[in-house]
Structure 1
Amino acid sequence: MQPENIDLVNPLRTRNDLRELVSEMLNAVTPYFKNNVSRIDLGNFTAHYGQHVAAMETFSRLLWGATPLLAGGDEPPQFAFYLQAIKHGTDPQHADYWGEVVPYDQQIVEMAAFGLLLSLAGDKVLAHFTPGEQENLWRWLKQSEDQAIPDNNWHFFPILVQVGFHHAGMPVNREALERHFAAMEHYYLGDGWYSDGPGRPRDYYISMGFHFYGLIYARLMADVDPTRCALLRQRSAQFATDFIHFFADDGSAIPFGRSLTYRFAQAAFWSAVAFSGLEVFSPGVVKGLVLRHLRWWLAQPIFDRDGILSVGYSYPNLVMAEDYNGPGSPYWGLKTMLVLALAEDDPFWQATELPLPTLADHHSIPLADQILVHQPGHLWMLTSGQLELNNFVNTEAKYCKFAYSSRYGFTCERGRYGLAHAAVDSTLLLAEKDNYWRGRRDCEQVVTSDETIYSRWRPWHDVVIDTWLLVLGTWQVRVHRIESARHLDTAEGDLACFTSRSCKPPTSQGAAG
């Protein structure tokens, strides 16, 4: 049953259509607002950081929708609640104070939304704050400057806080800015690509993290840091020519990697392209990328009960969650609503929506060890060598399969014993005559060319497998050479299409699409 308070037939053609969608999504959460409480509790499950912080995360992620509304001249629903929650959450003397920040604190992630709020709508917010309340907000956000954080895209969160300070006329720590930018240079790969930390994957965090935040910085700090802003824009322009291949004609994108429950954050990069005025594709092409993507997502059953975003991918599915996903985590998808900060007369909104430009049938990205293949009605990707070193749940399913598809998704295993619970799609699984199955995880070597990806991997220390993934027109061909002294059973599957007509995943497995 679809929720009644989200307009699922919204045509999403105009700025007003998008404004109405965001307002409806924010309104759906309103019943969970509580007086004098700066957190929003949406569910009875939580992430590794606990219910207290997860409820604070929910509130903060709504700001990614509320802030563009404010910046574009529209007051978000329940604006008074947002103001009160921020005042109480940043007041050390209040019972609902969000708290002091500790190393690797999830609150540092959420502070980025406050940095954008201060940058784009600081005058509208701080007009309601006393000098003491402004001081509380600054001191609470300032905690992000020197805390230990993961060495990955997290470095952008304290950077955006400093950007907010700059635009709000609050003291800025220039040394912190330089230090966090310097950290990220260690995993810049070239041609617009980063890895999400040293030796880590090249997934959607490169688009919805590094380049999304980088383009925000490039627009908001161009007057004080022009050289770095020009560099960030150059890198994003290079990245865009690869990233456009992740999107199909119907607006869907390749499901791949962790944090898929953020859903339409897959297109957040294109909203940042429009916001920053990056000249890489025409405004009509960028507009089409954003709005087709959002229309595709509105056609999926992603809302639970009364219009609350569920955890899952194309339908509610906790199997898809990472251990850092709480009930409000999916609202990071609101980052894609950044285009609402653009006025109606902006070239993005004035442009006629255009389809994808003519793209090559296949496109190789050696720095990401990926090859994207475009077919009518289907987009798929070959990949090797990706592994999330933190071993988040279902890492192998999300990173290590041979292929990923915008049309068919992928499955996550429900158990290692027996093929009935295994996720055989786009995978070669092996068992040592005991019905316990394992497949490719890390690769010892990967070589990517125009039409082929080679990888060497070991499911056991004494079993060596060389795999060649080949694009032959519209065909995907795999060749494996196995050297083993063990007696092994093997099983291999194609894409996760289980019936010729409906292509729906079986109910016994967790699926992304």
Structure 2
Amino acid sequence: MFQIEQKKLKDRNDAAALLLEMVRPLKPMFSPGCAWLHVGNTAAHYGEKAARMEGFARVLWGLGALWGGGDKGLSPDLKKESEEWLAIYQAGLIHGTDPDHEEYWGSLNDYDQKMVEMASLAVAISLSPDKFWEPLTKDQKSHLYQWLNQINEKKVHPNNWRFFRILVNMTFCHLGLPWSEACMEDDFKVIEDCYTREGWYYDGNPGQVDYYIPFAIQFYALIYAGFMENNEPELSEKLKERAQEFSKTFIYWFGNDGNEIPFGRSLTYRFAHGAYFSAMGFAGMEGPGYGIMKNLALRNLETWMARPIFEPSGVLSIGYGYPNLYMSERYNAPGSPYWGFKTFFMLALPDDHPFWTSEPEAYPFDKLKVLSEPHMLVTHDEKDHVMAFVTGQHSKNHGYCQQKYEKFVYSNQFGFSVSRGHGLEEGAFDNTLAISLAGYEHYQMRYGTKEYRIYDDRLYMKYEIMPRVMVETTIIPLAPWHVRIHRIHTEEAIDVADGGFAIEAEKCFHVVSGAANGKYEPAMVEQKPDSTAAVFPWGVSAAVSYTGGNSALVTAYPNTNLFYNLTIIPTVKTALEPGDHLVVTAFLGDRSELAQDWVDKRPKILLEEDKVTIGFQGQVKVWVKEL
């Protein structure tokens, strides 16, 4: 069974060794002409041929960077293996773009998936023209150019996809080939229209601000700026300045141990989340400091290598913390997860680059930080638990959008869950409010927000969770607790469930010896009339009600949580008749050595008419009804 060697990454040689260890199992999965990579049999909407081309191309994000950065400092064994892979990719690039070869990648249609994969080809060629352009014959050069140039003749989605065409035309420019100024101008206009402020963009859909900003838009912008700073100095400088500004807030999505918050779509790309730091180095941008970026990028890779994310064959699985198709997107083919190799763009940096020579450093995070553009309040504690409290985010046309964008809080230690149905168990409604018509057991969470506001210490949102049921929710972070205040106006009798942090029901992915079955014991659950606390050796999750109802432990369906394959969710349940109601709850999620102590240190709350006073650890917070 394939297993990655667990080791601390220190330098470029270590990162190169890890990359080659990850690609080694793939060698027998390439087609005879080396242009296709077949690593699995699940489907994506764009079909089998494009999926196999995608597999080939996405691995190139790592290998292309390795070749571009040179082999200085690499061990002899790594140099030899790198050269073997180069021969495979030179052959694949020639055959995939040859219309007379049986492994030809084919013509492009409008909005074709192969446009996505052109980016890694273009960047690899720009990094190493001596390997991917100069050795080609006249006919081979013509085939490669004609195949890539198709993107200038087709429609491209008005979002991060425009950078695929930008990078292709950038490569043409570098090689002295004809390129489309009209497309370049139009594409940068689309990207500019997506810009908001403080270095943030949205990805084509206003209100959707996710990892596509760092690992796509900012990543490509930095690559472009790194290559084009002499050709387009003003544009390159603007892109760099935005990336520098972006670093001040995006960094809050990580803990110093490298663990990032899971949030938004395309999470199966996993460690691509750190690719932005690699691209910053390529563009010569220090951001928060090379030592800090190096620490976050390398620690992030290490955390992922410690998780069971590989199939027994060694293939990187579709999933997140473990193989899991439930949370995947319709565009996730078996080779899609290798987009995570973008983070190996650090290998494009020579071993004497400050990114590699700097000592790793921790970042001095504020305990509570307002991130205005992604609409978040983010908390950090001494144990690197990061919680992002979110409002005003909304995504369309992707799987499980509600769960991926619109839960109240996202944690880098507890993850979040996706629903497999509408009952409380199959719905796995962690860290969200779910409502059903009374007695129907058909729950749903919100989808969209009518109003939202972010304050220095709380979030507010107003939403119609179902027809004839309007909710106003205020979230007040009091790490490791947080308080939720819901004002609910309903014209129907409803059942309400307010879910807390999903916590694993056993030490997942491990087998205990002896007579024990490994799952938590009933004695580990502290049940009181107004609260439920799961106090386990591996962490604590608790829920408290201050306005009646009852608390319970919901056993979520297996494989609904992104980190853990078997979880339970402390939940407050309330039945409401038509009318206006105030529901006040508090939730705890903690894995520190003091986690059990926090159960008895819950917030103290005084309820008055249209006023809630909260006391916690010497702090006093007052909530009054929004007008």
- TM norm. shorter chain > 0.5: yes
Q: Which letter does structure 2 place at the counterpart of 1:510?
A: T
Q: Aligned partners of 1:27 and 1:166: how far apart in 2? A: 34
Q: In the alignment, what sits opposite 2:16?
A: 19
Q: In the alignment, what sits opposite 1:116?
A: 123
Q: Aligned partners of 1:112 and 1:51: how far apart in 2? A: 20
Q: Aligned partners of 1:21 and 1:443: how far apart in 2? A: 43
Give 1:375 shift.
Answer: 1.3
Give 1:402 shift.
Answer: 0.5
Instruction: Give 3-state SS (helix, strand or coil) of 2:161's partner.
Output: helix
Q: 1:195 to 1:43 in 2, by over 3 A?
A: same
Q: Percent identity?
A: 38
Give 1:66 shift.
Answer: 1.1
Structure 1: 5+ residue stretches without partners: none
Q: In the alignment, what sits opposite 1:428?
A: 433
Correspondent of 2:7 among 10, 35, 60: 10
Deviates more, 1:176-185 or 1:159-168: 159-168
Instruction: Give 3-state SS (helix, strand or coil) of 2:260's partner.
Output: coil
Q: In the alignment, what sits opposite 2:311?
A: 304
1:53 aligned onto 2:86: no
Give 1:152 shift.
Answer: 1.0
| Kept after mapping to 2: 8 A contact 1:61/1:331 | yes
Q: Aligned partners of 1:163 and 1:486: how far apart in 2? A: 58
Superposition TM-score, scaled by structure 1 size: 0.96
Instruction: Give 3-state SS (helix, strand or coil) of 1:491's partner.
Output: strand
Q: Aligned partners of 1:167 and 1:24: how far apart in 2? A: 32
Q: Which letter does structure 2 place at the counterpart of 1:25?
A: M
Correspondent of 2:412 among 396, 406, 409: 406
Q: In the alignment, what sits opposite 2:607?
A: none
1:216 aligned onto 2:266: no
Give 1:97 shift.
Answer: 1.1
Q: Which letter does structure 2 place at the counterpart of 1:511?
A: N
Deviates more, 1:232-241 or 1:500-509: 500-509
CA deviation digits over 1:327-373, x for unaligned, max 9?
00000010001111111111111111112x21110111122111110
1:502 aligned onto 2:562: no
Q: 1:183 to 1:394 in 2, by over 3 A?
A: same
Q: In the alignment, what sits opposite 1:178?
A: 185
Q: Aligned partners of 2:314 and 2:399: how far apart in 1? A: 27
Give 1:135 shift.
Answer: 1.0
Q: In the alignment, what sits opposite 1:282?
A: 289
Give 1:473 shift.
Answer: 4.8
Instruction: Give 3-state SS (helix, strand or coil) of 1:143's partner.
Output: helix
Q: Which letter does structure 2 place at the counterpart of 1:443?
A: T
Q: 1:498 to 1:96 in 2, by over 3 A?
A: closer
Q: Aligned partners of 2:412 and 2:479: how far apart in 1? A: 18
Give 1:169 shift.
Answer: 2.7
Q: In the alignment, what sits opposite 1:30?
A: 27
1:37-436 counterparts in 2 under 5 A?
A: 37-74=34-71, 75-355=82-362, 357-377=363-383, 378-390=385-397, 392-416=398-422, 418-433=423-438, 434-436=440-442
Give 1:507 shift.
Answer: 5.7
Q: Which letter does structure 1 place at the counterpart of 2:432?
A: T
CA deviation digits over 1:468-506, x for unaligned, max 9?
111235431111101111000001111112552335995
| Kept after mapping to 2: 8 A contact 1:263/1:330 | yes
Deviates more, 1:208-217 or 1:279-288: 279-288
Give 1:37 shift.
Answer: 4.8
Q: Aligned partners of 1:468 and 1:171: how far apart in 2? A: 56
Q: Aligned partners of 1:317 and 1:77: how far apart in 2? A: 32
CA deviation digits over 1:398-446, x for unaligned, max 9?
1111000000111111111x21111221010000021100111100111
Structure number with higher helix proportion:
1
Q: Which letter does structure 1 place at the counterpart of 2:561?
A: A
CA deviation digits over 1:81-114, x for unaligned, max 9?
2111111111112222111100110000000001
Q: Aligned partners of 1:99 and 1:202: how far apart in 2? A: 33
Q: 1:101 to 1:191 in 2, by over 3 A?
A: same
| Kept after mapping to 1: 8 A contact 2:160/2:212 | yes
Q: Aligned partners of 1:146 and 1:300: how far apart in 2? A: 43
Instruction: Give 3-state SS (helix, strand or coil) of 1:320's partner.
Output: coil
Q: 1:194 to 1:203 in 2, by over 3 A?
A: same
Q: Aligned partners of 1:279 and 1:175: how far apart in 2? A: 33
Instruction: Give 3-state SS (helix, strand or coil) of 2:28's partner.
Output: helix
Q: Aligned partners of 1:143 and 1:427: how far apart in 2? A: 45
Q: In the alignment, what sits opposite 2:509?
A: none
Give 1:271 shift.
Answer: 0.7
Larger radius of gyration: 2
Alignment length (residue pairs): 507
Q: Which letter does structure 1 place at the counterpart of 2:425?
A: A
Structure 2: 5+ residue stretches without partners: 72-81, 506-535, 541-554, 564-627
Instruction: Give 3-state SS (helix, strand or coil) of 1:511's partner.
Output: coil
Q: 1:222 to 1:45 in 2, by over 3 A?
A: same
